[in-house]
């Protein structure tokens, strides 16, 4: 269960008992259960069903923060601008990006634009980053998929890109969405980049690419 979100008037949103900057208690914004519920809705709206949520996203995936606020307030009678801003600012995996609010992105509860950093099934074009890519990446999946992946590699399936994790532990966590005892593939990211296969960092520990050929894959031994 995710931690509750609190807000420091000076240093913005945080998810521990006290502000990590000034050690103040701050004010309560959202408990852990509602944080998870709101995060799932916002992720779905930005990645998969903007029209159903009542918002519009542009070709790069952006929508106005205030338009998204209206959508979440329509969905949940307890949601407000502070709850939305807190969920965006404190997401542990960097699922969301916010721009247009200067240096107050962790405090501002109005204005600017928001988008999902990765995971889209709707047609958007995300700009790349210059962040370095680790030599090795990982992909978690259900055991039933092993044979097909060994034969055909990793493909985007219902999403626009293949998602890779920075650590085996993170990949295993992703794999648990599909199976209780997931398997983890090791991805030779260095070899991919040497062969001009583009890999881009999205969020805090997620990397995306168009596809991964079987030649770059090996199964991680338990």
Among 168, 149, 174, which residue's Cα sits nearest to residue 221? 168
Complete DSSP assignment for 55-96 = ----TTS-EEHHHHHHHHHHH-TT--HHHHHHHHHH-TT--E
Q: Each residue of 134-174: pLDDT tens digit?
A: 999 999 999 999 999 999 999 987 778 899 999 999 999 99
Domain extent listing, the chain: 5-116, 136-219
Residues 6+ apart with CB under 8 A from 86: 5, 7, 13, 29, 30, 35
Of the options 1.10.10.970, 3.90.660.20, 3.40.190.10, 3.40.1190.20, the CATH number for the domain spanning 5-116: 1.10.10.970
Average pLDDT, the chain: 92
| Domain 136-219 of CATH type 2.40.33.10 | no
Q: Are strands 113-116 and 27-30 parallel, antiparallel or unpaired?
A: unpaired
How many residues are there in the chain? Answer: 222
* Per-residue model confidence (pLDDT) at position 166: 94
């Amino acid at each position: 269960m995710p931690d509750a979100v609190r807000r420091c008037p000076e240093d913005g949103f945080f998810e521990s008992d006290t502000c990590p900057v000034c050690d103040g208690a701050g004010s309560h914004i959202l408990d852990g259960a509602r944080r998870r519920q709101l995060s799932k809705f916002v992720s779905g709206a930005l990645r998969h069903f903007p029209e159903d949520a009542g918002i519009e996203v542009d070709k790069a995936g952006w929508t106005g923060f205030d338009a998204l606020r209206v959508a979440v307030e329509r969905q949940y009678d307890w949601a407000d601008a502070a709850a939305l801003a807190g969920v965006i600012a404190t997401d542990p995996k960097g699922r969301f990006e916010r721009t247009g609010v200067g240096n107050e992105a962790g405090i501002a509860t109005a204005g600017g634009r928001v988008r999902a950093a990765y995971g889209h099934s709707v047609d958007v074009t995300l700009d790349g980053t210059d962040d370095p890519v680790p030599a090795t990446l990982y992909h978690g999946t259900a055991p039933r998929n092993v044979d097909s992946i060994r034969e055909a590699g990793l493909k985007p399936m219902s999403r626009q890109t293949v998602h890779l994790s920075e650590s085996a532990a993170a990949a295993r966590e992703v794999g648990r969405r599909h199976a209780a005892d997931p398997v983890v593939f090791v991805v030779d990211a260095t070899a991919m980049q040497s062969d001009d296969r583009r890999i881009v960092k999205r969020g805090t520990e997620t990397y995306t690419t168009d596809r991964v050929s079987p030649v770059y894959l090996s199964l991680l031994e338990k």
